[in-house]
Amino acid sequence: MAAMTATRSLLIAAALITLVAGGQARLFPYLPGDVAVERAVQALSPGTGWVAPVISTASAPLKYVLMAIAVLGAWRLAGARAALVVIAAIAVEQAFGESSKLLFSRPRPSGQLVAVMGAPSGFSFPSTFMTLYSVTVGAVGVLAWRLAASPRRTAVLALCAVVLMVAAGARIVPGAHWPSDALGTYAICLSWLAAAFSAAGVPQR
């Protein structure tokens, strides 16, 4: 009964987060503070030379290495059920990540407001680069969060947090996405992952 209640609460939370994060992306081209934060991140970045190598990790063949590490990490942290949930999440992201942008139709950041590298095409929400990192690195982070306190838990959480921040920076620095795109994408994906792990009966250790 307690497990069902927890799962129900996580599902409700994920649905609400999706409505809020998705709603703001649908209704507003950017949020108050997006321009200032994006400019600050761009100013703090040590140039832009690091962006392309990071972005390349979301393309074949490197993305398959990322996926494999995530599935193996999930299995080591929480067992076979966790690994299966990660595999399913990756499959859904690969199939529908790009097409989900049509639901929100949020324009890319304007070069009149922030620095923009090149000419990014398509819509900006959700970031499919960050959806991929959510269902791989983010999934491992969610599983680590469910572990009992230990040095390993702390190390995994810290590593995942750093990687996710770098991934977000790799899209904000070149002006491809707003900060609210990054936060909204992560919030939606990670909340549904938490609900999925709970619904699948992945044990908390």
Q: What is the largest CA-CA distance in the chain?
A: 54
Instruction: With CA atoms as reference, report the closest residue to 104 among 89, 121, 131, 124.
Output: 124
Q: Which two tokens stand for residue 52?
A: 């392309």
Do you know the residue count of the chain?
A: 205
- Predicted local distance difference test score (pLDDT) of residue 181: 98
- Predicted local distance difference test score (pLDDT) of residue 2: 72
- Predicted local distance difference test score (pLDDT) of residue 157: 97
Dist CA 87 CA 183 (whole Å): 23
Taking only the tens of pLDDT, the chain with its 205 residues reads 777 899 999 999 999 999 999 999 999 999 999 999 999 999 999 999 999 999 999 999 999 999 999 999 999 999 999 999 999 999 999 999 999 999 999 999 999 999 999 989 999 999 999 999 999 999 999 999 999 999 999 999 999 999 999 999 999 999 999 999 999 999 999 999 999 999 999 988 7
- Predicted local distance difference test score (pLDDT) of residue 128: 97
- Predicted local distance difference test score (pLDDT) of residue 89: 98
Question: HEC states along the chain?
Answer: CHHHHHHHHHHHHHHHHHHHHHHHHHHCCCCCCHHHHHHHHHHHCCCCCCHHHHHHHHCCCHHHHHHHHHHHHHHHHHCHHHHHHHHHHHHHHHHHCCHHHHHCCCCCCCCCCCCCCCCCCCCCCCCHHHHHHHHHHHHHHHHHHCCCCCHHHHHHHHHHHHHHHHHHHHHHCCCCCCHHHHHHHHHHHHHHHHHHHHHCCCCCC
pTM: 0.95
Dist CA 81 CA 76 (whole Å): 11
